[in-house]
Amino acid sequence: MTTKGSDKKYPSHTVYWIATDGPKRTWQPIGVMWKNAEGKGFNVVLSKTPPTLELTALPYLSRRKEEN
According to DSSP, the β-strands at 24-35 and 13-21 are antiparallel
Instruction: Give yes or no for residue 29 having a pLDDT over 80.
Output: yes
Q: Is the pLDDT of residue 41 over 80?
A: yes
pLDDT at 5: 43
d(CA 42, CA 31): 13
Distance in angstroms (rounded) separating the CA atoms of residues 7 and 2: 8
Instruction: Give the Cα separation of 32 and 20 in Å (integer).
Output: 21
Higher-pLDDT residue of 37, 60: 37
Delimit the domains of the chain by residue range. Answer: 13-60
